[in-house]
Chain A
């Protein structure tokens, strides 16, 4: 079983749509959770950290369920510029090593 699992997609959605990505992780000792975005042939860029109480940043909402070891990302009012691969990232136990999911591809079309 992979340490971080994501639906690879692709998710093809029209502009303005709401789209949700899910992620599960296997290490119950993980303490830090992030969503990164990666554009084609570029480095990952931090989208947002994920906190236990859930958090929102503009059109983006992240949720964490520690009991189920499940993380989600909701994007509202999708823009063309949101097209990218979204990476679910978890730290490895108590260390600051990051484990990346394989990513979920999002394609937003006009």
Chain B
């Protein structure tokens, strides 16, 4: 089955630090990857859509200068939380679309738990 790997799985760092999270599709090519955020007891909220070779599309209310997304290849997208603050502490999850699939379930990474002190 399709595997999406996310790294790191857990980050604890000081306020003001920038944190990079990687999302890789291990056995398929992903033209599109999605980044979600989930606060405790809330639903996953889509932050942005990452397209290989082009700029990411951000959802309303998500600061593109705060959450930098790079999708340099068909198997890797990165999310950088710049100058992270305690309110950025959350569970960040990526998902990927296979290049050949339309309207099919996305394949999720196992998430990154970010804690900013």
A-side interface residues toward B, CB under 8 Å?
Answer: 4, 31-32, 34, 41-46, 49, 87, 91, 96-103
Contact = CB atoms under 8 A, between A and B. Distances in A.
Interface string B76-107: 00000000000000010101010000111110
B54 interface: no
Nearest to A105: B41
Nearest to A102: B43
Given A34-B105, A96-B32, A41 B44 contact: no
B20 interface: no
A96 B109 CA distance: 17
B44 A44 contact: yes
B42 interface: yes
B46 interface: yes
B110 interface: yes
A19 B24 CA distance: 36
Given A49-B105, A98-B106, A43 B43 contact: no
B43 A100 contact: yes
B96 to A, nearest CB: 11
Contact of B34 (A4, A97, A102): A97
A46 B46 contact: no
B61 to A, nearest CB: 14
Contacts of A102: 42-43
Contacts of A103: 43
Contacts of B43: 4, 87, 100-103
Interface string B19-34: 0000000000000101
